[in-house]
């Protein structure tokens, strides 16, 4: 039986794939907004090696955000897995906006990159969260509701 952490890792990887499709399309038609992988290359001073940004994007989603979601999911507000994922992703956006964005030179929450980039970062985080929650719930399966109830009851005692 897979643990919540392992299921979160799988969900984080799939969510990173979904966002990557959006990032690639945005890059091919624009690019008109700052992307997370691009920010990572700026921070690492590896702008000529875009793969470092993509590797960082997948590593963080798979090894940090996914497992953290697996642990926190039963405790997050809202009832559906997708909205739990979006709530989680909003938290990730806030942390990214306070740390990664300034380190990448686009100011707090990316405001120096302009409204379109901020909106893009919010949108891609929301998509990440919705996919993360959906995939995680599918991996948990029918136990989704029971897991939430069990953990809620456990926390109450």
Residues 9-61 have pLDDT tens digits of 999 999 999 999 999 999 898 878 888 888 889 888 898 888 999 999 999 99
Q: What global pTM score does this model have?
A: 0.87
- Specify the pLDDT at position 34: 87
Q: How far apart are CA 157 and CA 150, in angstroms?
A: 11
Spatial contact of 9 and 67, defined as CB atoms under 8 Å apart = yes
């Amino acid at each position: 039986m897979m643990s919540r952490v392992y299921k979160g890792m799988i969900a984080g990887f799939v969510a990173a794939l979904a966002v990557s499709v959006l990032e690639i399309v945005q890059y091919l038609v624009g690019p008109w907004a700052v992307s997370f992988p691009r920010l990572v290359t700026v921070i690492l001073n590896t702008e000529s090696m875009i793969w470092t940004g993509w590797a960082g994007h997948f590593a963080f989603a798979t090894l940090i955000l996914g497992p953290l979601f697996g642990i926190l999911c039963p405790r997050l507000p809202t009832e559906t897995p997708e909205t739990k994922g979006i709530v989680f992703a909003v938290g990730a956006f806030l942390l990214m906006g306070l740390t990664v964005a300034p380190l990448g030179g686009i100011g707090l929450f990316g405001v120096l990159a302009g409204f379109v980039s901020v909106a893009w970062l919010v949108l891609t985080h929301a998509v990440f969260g919705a996919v993360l929650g959906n995939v995680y719930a599918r991996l948990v399966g029918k136990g989704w509701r029971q897991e939430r109830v069990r953990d809620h009851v456990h926390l109450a005692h």
